Amino acid sequence: MIDELRAMAVFAKIVETGSFRAASRELSLSPSVVSHHVSQLEEKLGVALLYRSTRRLSLTHDGEKLFHYAKEMLASAESGFDAIAKRANQPTGKLTITFPAGFIQGPMVDDLAAFAQAHPKVALTINFSDHQLDVIREGIDLAIRVGTVQDSTLKSKKLTDLERMMVASPEYCAKHPAPKKPTDLKSWDFIGLRMRPNDKFLTNKAGKSVRIHYEPQVVLDNIHAVVQMAKAGLGVVTPPRFLVTKEIENGQMVELLPDWKVESLPVYAIWPPNAPRESLTYRCIEYLEACEKKRRP
């Protein structure tokens, strides 16, 4: 089909210029190649499209019909190119994005709101879920993922590191002696998140590190549910800092071992490998990346 469309474009240029030689000059093709395209069309359709001699060129009845459709085809193609070029200057279209559920309360939501305001002709569809959706099968333009990238067939770019805190409810803390070092937490209960391993890696300012392994009684598949269970007194959790800042300020949660830092997790933008550099996907990634850079100290 591509060969036929190319031949129709050549045929239309011959009719517009009035000769094979003139068409070959404008298309930067040899006269023999131009003639070959027309012969291919005539053979494919089983009709004569042009009557030609050494000095004259005229359209047959079938040639007039095909020229009409060829002009429409080229006009539609030109409109398509113009629309894409215009979109590059003034972005329009649809963008489907997926985020981890915990990011609902995170700063990237504000970034997306600002992106939508800056690009009013871009329609955003946003999914928040801790279940990792298949980017290709679900038709997702951009996925924000926490942790290492699993699928090497997709493109990825690190945006930031997710800072976490180790917290528990005051009621749960009251049941245990105040911990002074990470190993004091071995007898404490931890609430599990299905997408994360059952261990915590902690470091202090002196560079000392400790890994705590635990077997949770309760495992959930949503970070908001994990935090809610911790607030209800079920045990220790290590959510993103932005999810529990207010709870710590109002006394609903207590930070454990503030001299020790929970290992941060990398945050990646992931997208299909064939997304062009001029796409809305790249534009959104660059916008989110710029916002993250502004937040860094």
Question: Would you say how long the chain is, in residues?
Answer: 297
Same-domain status, 280 and 194: no
Q: What is the largest CA-CA distance in the chain?
A: 104
* CATH number for the domain that contains residue 172: 3.40.190.290
Same-domain status, 113 and 258: no
Same-domain status, 12 and 80: yes
Average pLDDT over residues 142-165: 88
Same-domain status, 85 and 115: no
Domain membership of residue 205 as a residue range: 167-263
Q: Measured between alpha carbons, how far is 280 from 137 in angstroms, rounded to an integer?
A: 19
Same-domain status, 140 and 284: yes
Same-domain status, 285 and 155: yes
Round the CA-based radius of gyration of the chain to a whole number and report it. Answer: 31
Residue 263 DSSP symbol: P
* Percent of the chain that is helix, strand, coil (3-state, to 5): 45, 25, 35
163: tokens are: 């800072």
Tell me: pLDDT of 11 over 90.
Answer: no
Same-domain status, 39 and 179: no
Which of 63, 89, 115 delimits the end of a domain? 89
Whole-number percent of the chain with pLDDT over 70: 94
Tell me: pLDDT of 87 over 80.
Answer: no
Same-domain status, 84 and 204: no
Same-domain status, 171 and 236: yes
The DSSP secondary structure of 124-188, one letter per residue, reads EEEEE-SS---TTTTT-SEEEEESS---TTSEEEEEEEE-B--EE-HHHHTTSPPPSSGGGGGGS
Q: Measured between alpha carbons, how far is 40 from 89 in angstroms, rounded to an integer?
A: 39
The neighbouring-strand residues paired with 156 are 270
Dihedral angle, C-alpha 15, 21, 25, 29, nearest 10 °: 90
pLDDT in tens, 214-263: 999 999 989 999 999 999 999 999 999 999 999 999 999 999 999 999 99
Tell me: pLDDT of 99 over 60.
Answer: yes
Which of 60, 89, 118 delimits the end of a domain? 89
Q: Measured between alpha carbons, how far is 246 from 249 in angstroms, rounded to an integer?
A: 5
Same-domain status, 212 and 271: no
* Total of domains in the chain: 3
Same-domain status, 154 and 271: yes
Collapsed DSSP state (helix, strand, coil) of residue 97:
strand
pTM of the model: 0.66
Same-domain status, 220 and 256: yes
